[in-house]
Structure 1
């Protein structure tokens, strides 16, 4: 699988975890159709993201407009932002690449204007 496909699996797994409160490892296992061999990049984008979730939520809240909070975002927007923060801050991926991927995912899976919010938050990081 390429990195874009792994990001989609990570987004789906994070979405399930955030929406249902299901253990992230179980979400990844289910998304991988029972495959136990998890790519290191996918592991970082899922398990790593949840390990740093509180820190990332605080950072996201500080970058949102004063009348918005992380909890007001859709679950998919939350998943994309958390995953993007992990990729930029922990994986040290190029910010432009991460922003481009986040915008691509949000245009495909979120509301029509979600990509603008995601772009704005990640650009401030």
Structure 2
């Protein structure tokens, strides 16, 4: 499984975790079709993101427009931002790659202009 595919699984897992307040391990297990073994990179993108989400939310809020807050974003936008912060801050993935992947996911799964907001926020990190 390549990194892009892992990011999609991470996005689905974190999305379920945020939307349903479901245990992240259960979300990952279900998204992996019951497979118990996951790659370390996917583990970081899922479990690591869930463990650090409050810290990342605190970092994201000041990067948004003054009249916006993290809670005002769609759950998918929140998910992509959280994963992006995990990738940059913990996995040390180059920012350009993270932005490209976030924009790609947003264009496919989010509202039409969401990618612009995500690009702007991640670029400020």
On whether the aligned pair clears a TM of 0.5, the verdict is yes
- In structure 1, the residue matched to 2:40 is 40
Q: TM-score, normalised to structure 2's length?
A: 0.99
- In structure 1, the residue matched to 2:123 is 123
Gaps of 5+ in 2: none
Gaps of 5+ in 1: none
Deviations 1:10-55 (A, max 9, x none): 0000000000000000000000000011110110001000111111
- In structure 2, the residue matched to 1:66 is 66
- In structure 1, the residue matched to 2:9 is 9
In 1: Cα distance, 2:55 partner to 2:63 partner: 13
| Alpha-carbon distance, 1:114 to partner | 0.2
In 2: Cα distance, 1:13 partner to 1:85 partner: 16
In 1: Cα distance, 2:31 partner to 2:50 partner: 16
Deviations 1:86-120 (A, max 9, x none): 00001111000000000000000000000000000
In 1: Cα distance, 2:110 partner to 2:70 partner: 16
Q: TM-score, normalised to structure 1's length?
A: 0.99
- Give the count of matched residue pairs: 125
In 1: Cα distance, 2:26 partner to 2:16 partner: 10
Residues 1:24 and 2:24 aligned together: yes
| Alpha-carbon distance, 1:71 to partner | 0.1
2:92 match: secondary structure? coil
| Cα RMSD, aligned residues only | 0.4
